[in-house]
Amino acid sequence: MIESFRRFKILIAAYILSVSYVSVWAQHVRMWVPSETGDYYYQLKENNVRLQASDLYSAERPSLNDAIVQFNGGCTGEIISPRGLVLTNHHCGYGAIAAHSTLEHNYVEDGFWAQSQAEELPNPGMYVTFVRKIIDVTGEVLQGVTPDMDARQRQSVTDRNINRLKKTLPHEAWQDISIKPFFYGNKYYAFVEENYRDIRLVGAPPSSIGKFGADTDNWMWPRHSGDFSLFRIYADKNNRPAEYSPDNVPYRPDRYLKVSTEGVHEGDMIIVYGFPGRTQEYLPSFRVAQITGKINPVRIGIRRHALDVLDKFMRRNDTLKLKYTSTYARIANYWKKWKGENMGIRRSGAIAEKKHWEEEVLRREAETGGHEVADILQELKAAYDSLEAPELARNVFIEAGYVDNPWMQYALDMYRFERQVQRRPEKFDELKSDFYEQMKNKWAKSDARVNRALFLAMWQDLNRYMPEKYKPSSWEIPANKSSHDKVSDNWQHAVFTDSLRLKKALEGGAENFLNVLKNDSAYKMARGLIDSFYNDISPDYARWQNKTVELMRSYQSHMMKLFPGFRWAPDANGTLRVTFGEVRGYEPRDGVYYEPFSTLDGVIEKYIPGDYEFDLPEKLLDIYKHKDFGKYAVNGTVPVNFLGTAHTTGGNSGSPALNAKGELVGLNFDRVWEGTMSDLYYDPSICRNIMVDIRYVLFIMDKLGDASRLVHEILQN
Ligand code: ARG
Ligand code: GLU
């Protein structure tokens, strides 16, 4: 009796303490699972939201989740009309826009606006995913798991439970079930999903609007980009998902977003609803130090090297610039993100903060009579130490041996093709023409001189950064220059880089082809690296990675039990989340304050005629000169972008920003540089998400584009 009273008192004290600590910590992670209404009510009340939790998500009736889709697996989109119109980012629709572009119809350059349903363009392979229902299945998934099980036993039990649940959870024939771990496997949720596969391109602004500022402005504020594009979902006659068919009709949504042209003010509440990809907020201090001190510098160094190579060619030659612009942008995007991340971790004192938190956890545990966390942290430290070499090796391979090295990409294509042929030599004739076409297309979009220069740079980096243990001996740079040159000559005329050689190699039968491969010295060298990746690096990486997940699971579980008053939001894992924030500027450095709004005046200020990043369409300059802003004018200009404190990450691109009434006021597309460390440590003082003001979207469509049909559809007038 007395014992339990004492425990009760400790619990109360713990609760009060955790609430006071919440003033720092609760704000860090705030990507909420939409079905966890308990968490909302607190947030909603605080922010005077005029929505019920059940407006945001309900399994019973149409709610806002029915208006949000994961867009093509990686971005977010939202339904903004009763006829299935989807708004997302320009950079999310870019692949489709580029695929439909030709020299006569250059939609990337000039933009595209379908004038009728018949002109909307299908995109094979593209899909969007709705989440209809979210179910906590923790109990079911963990059924049969016992504390004495090792990781493999646990895995086999949870896998079995998950497979069973996928069959037994009630769902319709056209729905799918996906089940994902949260909090490193302390919780599991099931998602009842619908995938629509007939998605047509409806509209896009010219790139000079959609990518205005390109790499220079990327991850930066002040920003002036119209990063949006429009698609439409098509369904079968019963409004169900269907493969593309000319007979399909525009999808009729259960719920779509009402667009508000009232705008936002500083301090206004915003709700960002979408599919954040990955965050790791609960890592211990030493892991954050390892990522920023050991892993990021290598990734940054390799990407910088590749960007310098590309830059030299692109500056000298316009054709090369065109060919490599999107490769450059892709490599530069995360190069810049990791640099910002390292800077932000340092500036925010994140590592010291996390240490402080670990001490807090240990102290709390001691108070409640526990004694396990110190050991877990120690084991975790040892596991991350063991992970370091294979993780570095894996990153060096991915960067220098893949992402920044086109010749290695072709070698990997060849490797996959070789395996297909080995498995089914009788299919050789069928397989080979597809493969040949695929390679020819890739080669046509690239340039041998650039690829060779990248190869040489990445070869250096492989030698420089690859941990000794994982270095394939064939990649050693020969001391003598002529054998070094001979190697790159061999690569330039390898069976996977030279279309004549490939064509010839494919002419004989399967056996002949496999023989040619065996004797290609460049391919042998490439295989050495690929084999070391699959046979040595990956298994070591997986082993220690799994160990860290297992230990993080128990660290996370202890933290959650020790701080029961804390509202724990799980790390992003690609599932639907809602996050609350407000419109707010920030201080990027001492003495400087950034306003949270940008306008068309700033777009014009940045204008550089003929520049690939800052050029503008003539027509926009005209509109500006005549102040022809129509109903989109605010204080003699047009609002363009704004900042908020919503906690977002990659995957939130294209997410709607809603006001307190649940109406669409903005379109999320980026974060500010000083705050990109929010994937590891969310600091409310400098982490900001960047949105396009919905009025800029409408202004561009209405005044610059030829899209009054769509503006009417959206505003329903
Ligand atoms: N930084 C934004 C996001 O991850 C936009 C990326 C597209 N823009 C670019 N210039 N690469 O990812
Ligand atoms: N641009 C990112 C994306 O493509 C979103 C910005 C971010 O990472 O916050 O998802």
Query: What pLDDT is stored for residue 45 in this prediction?
Result: 65
Residue nearest to atom 1 of ligand 2 (CA): 670
Q: With a 6 A CB cut-off, is 530 part of the ligand 1 pocket?
A: no
Pairing of strands 639-644, 586-589: unpaired
What is the distance, to the nearest Å, from the Cα of residue 137 to the centroid of all Cα atoms in its chain? Answer: 26
Angle at which helices 448-465 and 373-398 pack, to 10 degrees? Answer: 150
Q: With a 6 A CB cut-off, is 670 part of the ligand 2 pocket?
A: yes
Q: Which atom of ligand 2 is nearest to the CA of 89?
A: 4
**Residue 366 resides in a domain:** yes
The mean predicted confidence, pLDDT, of the chain is: 93
Same domain, 205 and 302: no
Q: With a 6 A CB cut-off, is 331 part of the ligand 1 pocket?
A: no
Same domain, 152 and 289: no
Residue nearest to atom 8 of ligand 2 (CA): 650
Digit-coded pLDDT (tens) for 245-286:
999 999 999 999 999 999 999 999 999 999 999 999 999 999
Residues assigned a catalytic role: 91, 227, 653
Buried b (16+ CB within 10 A) or exposed e, 462-501: beebbeeebbbeebeeeeeeeeeeebeebbbebbbbbeee
Same domain, 160 and 216: yes
Q: With a 6 A CB cut-off, is 652 part of the ligand 2 pocket?
A: yes
Q: Which atom of ligand 1 is nearest to the CA of 337?
A: 1
Cβ-in-10-Å burial (0-12, 13-18, 19+) of 27 comes to middle
Same domain, 242 and 268: no
Q: Is the pLDDT of residue 402 over 70?
A: yes
Residue to probe by mutation, ligand 1, list 216, 218, 673, 690, most atoms within 8 Å of CB:
218
Query: What pLDDT is stored for residue 4 in this prediction?
Result: 44
- Quick one: which ligand is closest to 326's CA? 1
Q: Is the pLDDT of residue 20 over 70?
A: no
Q: With a 6 A CB cut-off, is 550 part of the ligand 1 pocket?
A: no
Report the SS3 class of residue 103: coil
Query: What pLDDT is stored for residue 29 in this prediction?
Result: 65
Domain boundary among 509, 528, 548: 548
Compute the distance between CA of residue 106 and CA of residue 112 in angstroms, rounded to an integer. Answer: 8
**Residue 23 resides in a domain:** no
Same domain, 489 and 355: yes
**Residue 686 resides in a domain:** yes
Digit-coded pLDDT (tens) for 411-465:
999 999 999 999 999 999 999 999 999 999 999 999 999 999 999 999 999 999 9
**Residue 558 resides in a domain:** no
Digit-coded pLDDT (tens) for 22-39:
335 544 668 999 998 665
- Quick one: which ligand is closest to 574's CA? 2
Q: Which atom of ligand 1 is nearest to the CA of 336?
A: 1
Read off the pLDDT band of 16 (50, 70, 90). very low
Residue nearest to atom 2 of ligand 1 (CA): 670
Same domain, 228 and 267: no
Same domain, 423 and 327: yes
Q: Which atom of ligand 1 is nearest to the CA of 653?
A: 3
- Quick one: which ligand is closest to 277's CA? 2
Give me the CATH number covering residue 270: 2.40.10.10
Same domain, 156 and 302: no
**Whether the Cβ atoms of residue 6 and residue 547 lie closer than 8 Å to each other:** no
Same domain, 267 and 244: no
**Whether the Cβ atoms of residue 10 and residue 560 lie closer than 8 Å to each other:** no
Q: With a 6 A CB cut-off, is 112 part of the ligand 2 pocket?
A: no
Q: Determine the average pLDDT of the residues in 354-377.
A: 95
Residue nearest to atom 7 of ligand 1 (CA): 91
Compute the distance between CA of residue 494 and CA of residue 522 in angstroms, rounded to an integer. Answer: 6
Domain that holds residue 466: 285-548
Beta-carbon count within 10 A of 3 CB: 7
Q: Determine the average pLDDT of the residues in 594-617.
A: 97
Q: With a 6 A CB cut-off, is 650 part of the ligand 1 pocket?
A: yes
Query: What pLDDT is stored for residue 567 in this prediction?
Result: 83
**Residues near 157 by Cβ (< 8 Å), separated by ≥ 6?**
143, 144, 145, 149
Q: Which atom of ligand 2 is nearest to the CA of 92?
A: 4
Q: Is 73 left (phi over 0), alpha (psi -120 to 50) or beta?
A: left
Ligand 1: centre distance to CA 444 (Å): 25
Same domain, 138 and 214: yes
In the chain the first and final C-alpha atoms are separated, in Å, by: 70
Ligand 1: centre distance to CA 214 (Å): 8
Q: Is the pLDDT of residue 625 over 80?
A: yes
Read off the pLDDT band of 47 (50, 70, 90). low
Report the SS3 class of residue 439: helix
Read off the pLDDT band of 2 (50, 70, 90). very low
Report the SS3 class of residue 602: helix
Ligand 2: centre distance to CA 699 (Å): 24
Residue to probe by mutation, ligand 1, list 227, 333, 341, most atoms within 8 Å of CB:
333
- Quick one: which ligand is closest to 652's CA? 2
Query: What pLDDT is stored for residue 28 in this prediction?
Result: 63
Q: With a 6 A CB cut-off, is 647 part of the ligand 2 pocket?
A: no
**Residue 57 resides in a domain:** no
Query: From the CA atom positions of the chain, what is the Rg in Å?
Result: 27
In the chain, count H helices and then E strands. 26, 20
**Residue 498 resides in a domain:** yes
Ligand 2: centre distance to CA 576 (Å): 15
Q: How many folded domains does the chain comprise? A: 3
**Whether the Cβ atoms of residue 696 and residue 711 lie closer than 8 Å to each other:** no
**Residue 505 resides in a domain:** yes
- Quick one: which ligand is closest to 330's CA? 1
Q: With a 6 A CB cut-off, is 55 part of the ligand 2 pocket?
A: no
Query: What pLDDT is stored for residue 612 in this prediction?
Result: 85
Q: With a 6 A CB cut-off, is 651 part of the ligand 2 pocket?
A: yes
Read off the pLDDT band of 585 (50, 70, 90). very high
Ligand 2: centre distance to CA 199 (Å): 22
Read off the pLDDT band of 11 (50, 70, 90). very low
Q: Determine the average pLDDT of the residues in 504-509.
A: 95
Same domain, 346 and 266: no
Digit-coded pLDDT (tens) for 513-561:
999 999 999 999 999 999 999 999 999 999 999 999 999 999 999 999 9
Residue to probe by mutation, ligand 1, list 90, 91, 207, most atoms within 8 Å of CB:
91
Same domain, 326 and 269: no
Cβ-in-10-Å burial (0-12, 13-18, 19+) of 359 comes to exposed
Ligand 2: centre distance to CA 15 (Å): 36
Q: Which atom of ligand 1 is nearest to the CA of 670?
A: 2
Domain boundary among 499, 528, 548: 548
In sequence order, the β-bridge partners of residue 664 are 259, 658
Q: Is 684 or 43 the better-scoring residue by pLDDT?
A: 684
Of 39-48, 235-244, 528-537, the poorest mean pLDDT is in 39-48
**Residue 272 resides in a domain:** yes
Read off the pLDDT band of 687 (50, 70, 90). very high
